[in-house]
Structure 1
Amino acid sequence: MLRIAGLHAAYGHALALHGVDLEVDEAEVVCLVGRNGVGKSSTMRAIVQDLIRVTGGTVEYDGRSLVGLAPERVIRRGIGYVPEDRRVFASMTVLENLRVPAPKPSGRGDDWTIERVFELFAPLSEYRHRKAGVLSGGEQQMLSIARSLLTNPRLLLLDEPHEGLAPKVADEVVGAIVELKRRGVSMLIAEQSLRTIRACADRVYVIDRGTTVFGGSAAAFEADPELARKYLTVQ
């Protein structure tokens, strides 16, 4: 599905990635892990060509290169992107935010609808007429994920999905991710929480200073506690 090899990328003249390799297969949840500032968000942005320039390596989705495409064209290819800053439309209601995406039929007969995302994120249903700008951080995160699902992506990119959230709300978000996995949604999740990794990851890649330093099954990652000690903020 997604294949990244030898990825280099930069913000202007400032290099951010120096050789990232990772893969995501159909119906697989992959966690890209590491401490803050090591290149997780830059990798996500490089996939969707969001404010970063790929300077080397390959980014392929279903065997076709994404390099050089505008972000909206990447999304139309079937990739959903939930950035760390959420980017909800603060002056619009929850319902208005959810009506923004142009739905792309999946052809699988299980398309996401507004009512289906309300089932996944019950608080959004209750607050459907509330302005997004007054929602809590957790509710805005739910809204951002829900809005992305309405494009019926085959692959969902989640950048630090519960960063800065209260523990109870973070658990709700993780619970939604686990439910999406149960429904067969392929996901790449930038993460540094062991709790989330243990809850949903099939495979783990560790990134440090813009380079992949480990790639393997979640079981292999768990079996080597030195990886978490060295490269993660342990939670």
Structure 2
Amino acid sequence: MNLKILAIIPARGGSKGVPRKNIRNLAGKPLIAWTIEEAKKSKYINRLVLSSDDDEIIEVAKEYGCDVPFKRPKELAQDDTPGIETVLHAIEHCPGYDFVMILQPTSPLRTVEDIDQCIEYTMRENAKLCVSVSEASQSPYWMYKREDDYLVPLIKQDKLITRRQDIPKVFILNGSIYLGDIEKIKAAKSFITNETKAYEMPISKSYDIDSLDDFIICENFIKKLP
């Protein structure tokens, strides 16, 4: 491909649920290392960079061979900072690329095959935006709101679907891969528009680490790998 792809690993230091999450040990190495190592194997990524405000995270990323061309400003590393602002900041500091890919370090089960297949799928479809998804384990067709203690279907149906095999498949963003044409991202300020394609990943590779329990689950998965 003639397109140049910039991959960004966003990893701020102020994680609340699990302190120091991005560099916490997972199956023998820092959480962020799993993403760095897989991204560096990609056939298509031209440059892999870290966006972080934290000196310790920066040093760990460098140890594993990730480029750190800038330090993220503190104002872009707050709890309420929109993720897209981090992306736009990184793009501004790393010009000369056609597409940008976001690889969150909290998805350690994502492999280089997922990364490269997502890129290939996006190019094959001639898409400008693509995000990774997985099939939802719970269907909104069987979900309800409570109004005055009465059950109200979240999705109105002429006839209630009672068999699981009859329920339409629904998907959720798994947070693993975001890919977009840089000019499109600058204009839309989002990876999610009505033009966004979905790259499906299996549930078994779609864990997003947000708690200590997630660390245990992912570590067990990794230990079972051949």
Given the two structures, how large is their TM-score scaled by the length of structure 1? 0.26
Select the structure that is richer in strand.
Answer: 1
Given the two structures, how large is their TM-score scaled by the length of structure 2? 0.27
Greater relative CO, 1 or 2 (CA 8 Å, sep 6+)? 1
